[in-house]
Structure 1
Amino acid sequence: MKPLGIYIHIPFCLSKCNYCGFYSRGGTSAAEQESYIESLIDDIKTYSSLYGSRYLVDTVFIGGGTPSILEAGLVGKVLAALRAHFDIAEDAEITIESNPRTLTEEKLTAYRQAGVNRLSMGLQSFDENCLKTLGRVHTAQDFVSNYQMARACGFDNINVDLMFAVPGHTMDIWQDTLERTIALAPEHISFYSLQIEEGTPFYDLFMAGEFDQVPDDVDREMYHTAIRRFKEAGYEHYEISNCAKPGRQCRHNLKYWSMGDYLGIGSGASSYVDGIRFTQPPLSFFHENGFADDTAEFVFTGLRKTRGISLAEFKERYGRDFWKVFVDRRGALSPYFESGQLVEEDGVLRLSEEGFDISNAIMAIFV
């Protein structure tokens, strides 16, 4: 049986953050949430008839939105439905995303009993002004209290999400957040530069010329400072925006960056199964990948990983030499090889740390 990751989308939040471009909504009632879960379980049954006999599920990721906004029993119902209709590996990585102020001891205990073994917590910043700017509903102390509660409830695999280059952000603020996060010793840390997404309050401010954007050079200094400090603290920088203690990389997210099969269930959830990309309503999309699609995606997702892509793996997977497929891209890539931002050595093509600063420009050459 082939390995499969399953992503469960829970589109509910206490309120939408000022930067969030994901499909989600705030202010829903308990009745709406229960109805959504019943519909989601019906979808699980339907997808099981299509894929259940051919795949072994080795990762589950419950994301959103804010899944931890749900009553604890609803999360258990979803996982019970997955186990009833799919083969779930005994050592499956099962993650739930959460935000401070939505977690309780009751919920955390219920998650553990339902089989959740990885918790992802949205901190973003230890600075209260940054949290207010982002539209977060929690305080730094809310996060610390929830983090300690999660440890007490038995979670030994926790990710913390951070965000930098927030309006008003300074290096001192960012370094304080880094040090306080490292002191908590989470197993995994994700760190993202603020992106302005269309349809968000930040986008409206930007278009009106009222957005206090952090200069690019400061953004990049924050990024490289984070990488350096995490490495000094014993973390492996394994993907552009992710680091982990040894052996604690996010197995589910690695599927996205390695062209593994994953099935998205829930409103707006995206899938890549059997070479087909599709998205559930209301973000309906369907595309059957051809050779050019798959090879390009293998490259620009794989280059997100610090280890890059194996040219031997490319040939084994697609039956052709890498540079025969992309021979016409050599010229455009030459400046990046010469600058050391793109490196080919020992049969591996990868970006250097400086190459990550312009990764979009390099990856676009393969599209």
Structure 2
Amino acid sequence: MKKLGIYIHIPFCKQKCNYCDFYSIKWDSETENKYVEAILNEIKSYKEKLNGFIADTIFFGGGTPTIVKPYNLKRIIEEINDLIAIDKNAEITIEANPNTLSDEKLTAYKEIGVNRLSIGIQSLNDEILKKIGRIHNGDEALNSIDRAKKNGFENINADVMFNIPGQTVSDVEDTIEKIIEKGIKHISFYSLKLEKGTPLYIMEQNNKIVMPEEDYEREMYYAGRSVIENHDLIQYEISNFTIKGYECKHNLKYWNQEEYIGLGPSAHSFLKNIRFSNPSDLNLYCENLQSNKLEKIIHEELSEDDLMFEYIMLRLRLTEGINIDEFNNKFSTDFMKMFENQIDYLHKNNLIDVDNSNIKLTAKGMDISNYVITIFNNSY
């Protein structure tokens, strides 16, 4: 059986964060019910397309999935299980805002099979949280970890953000120290990037906020990474750190160029070498599924060369890098010969490490990973 990841986009928020450009709308109960019926119909639409697959990861992302009634999440999981088998050891993740995690909901999540939480903490500094539009405070964030652990969740990720206007290195270090003290097993540690059209982007354009200088952004990253690694979490991807064995299996599918489908408005899929997505409009999404005519937006059908370059780009995000034998078998080619000049240049400049089995980014290479990827791309 082929393994398949399933992403479910839940496009509801109590309040949209000032940095977020993901598709989301304000939640209400009636719209939730309409959305769930559409999702169930979309799952049914895959009936003929997924023969021979088994789902080994399911990821509820958003938006704020923990706004939705657990009963409706259960219906979605049951419909997936009617479509294709769910592996008995499947990783089932739900993203959560700290102040939406009640004991009642956590108990319900355990009962429907959710075994991994990803909590959007971002910072424990209340002023920073207000600035970026989060609707929780630092105490609520720490309490949500305690509550999750009390209700039997061990596999917990915390999202932590740096490069926020007004943020200091000590803010970043303090946040990471405190969440690790709570027993967090996984940290996604990422830099704020201003996306066009978001409130923070507009504020920056109007000179109402000033982004940190690039050198200070790097200082925050190095300081945060140092704290994480001092607590024995290992870096396995540019922005992700974990206790061994708690890597996010679903996200590894993206970085390993494995197949997945995305359900819900704006959700993206990669199936049979085709990348496609759903429209980023809940009303249109629901209307189309009511009449059984959901049209997927085809982004690209990847050629062998496309797949090869994308595989290099994705695998270089991982600290283990590119397995040369795996690459050669996957693409029936000789990696070392094909990229001989690029490898020589990057190795001489201390941007990659090379041995007989792997090519991976050095610490210096990770800092300028986009440049390294461009060098490989220049061969086409």
Bin for the TM-score computed over the shorter chain: over 0.9
- Within 5 Å, which residues of 2 pair with 1:21-100? 21-25=21-25, 27-51=26-50, 53-100=51-98
* Length, aligned pairs only: 362
In structure 2, distance between residues paired with 1:277 and 1:366:
22
| Alignment check: 8 A CA contact 1:72 1:106 kept | no
Aligned partners of 2:173 and 2:227 also within 8 Å: no
| Cα distance in 2, alignment partners of residues 282 and 23 from structure 1 | 6
- Equivalent position of 2:17 in the other structure: 17
Give, as a single letter, the amino acid of the residue that structure 2 aligns with 1:309.
I
Q: TM-score, normalised by structure 1?
A: 0.95
Which residue pairs with 1:191 in the alignment?
189
In 2, Cα distance between equivalents of 1:130 and 1:165: 11
When the two structures are superposed, what TM-score results if normalisation uses the length of structure 2? 0.92
Other-structure match for 1:294: 307
Q: Distance in 1 between matches of 2:350 and 2:235?
A: 19
Gaps of 5+ in 1: none
Name the CA distance, whole Å, in 2 between partners of 1:211 and 1:323.
47
**Partner residue in 2 for 1:131:** 129
Residue 20 of structure 1 aligns with an amino acid whose one-letter code is C
Q: CA RMSD in A?
A: 1.5
Change in 2 beyond 3 A, CA 1:230/1:346: farther
186-195 or 218-227: bigger deviation:
218-227
Q: Structure 1 residue aligned with 2:262, among 253, 261, 264?
A: 264
Mark the runs of 5 or more structure 2 residues left unpaired by the alignment.
282-296
Identity within the alignment, %? 39
**1:346 positional shift:** 2.8
Task: Indicate conservation of the 8 Å contact 2:17/2:134, yes or no.
Answer: yes
The equivalent of 1:317 in structure 2 is 330
Q: Which residue of 2 aligns with 1:141?
A: 139
| 8 Å contact kept, 2:103–2:147 | yes
| Deviations 1:105-153 (CA, angstroms, capped at 9, x unpaired) | 1111111000000011000001011101110000111112221111111
**Residue range with higher mean Cα deviation, 139-148 or 263-272:** 139-148
Q: Are the structure 2 counterparts of residues 251 and 42 from structure 1 closer, same or farther at C-alpha, using a change threshold of 3 Å?
A: same
Q: Deviations over 1:270-320 (max 9, x none)?
A: 111111111111383331110111000100000000010111110000100
The answer for the alignment partner of 1:226 in structure 2 is 224
**Aligned with 1:131: secondary structure?**
helix
Q: Deviations over 1:163-199 (max 9, x none)?
A: 0011001111111112111111211110001011112
Task: Point out the more displaced range, 337-346 or 252-261.
Answer: 337-346
Matches of 2:322 and 2:208 in 1, distance apart?
41
In the alignment, the residues of structure 2 paired with residue 337 and residue 21 of structure 1 have an alpha-carbon distance, to the nearest angstrom, of 37
Inter-partner Cα distance in structure 2 for 1:12 and 1:63: 10
- One-letter code aligned to 1:294: L
CA apart distance, 1:206: 2.5
Report the counterpart of residue 303 of structure 1 in structure 2.
316
User: How far apart are residue 229 of structure 1 and its match?
Assistant: 1.8
SS at match of 1:272: strand
Alpha-carbon separation, structure 1, partners of 2:152 and 2:163: 33
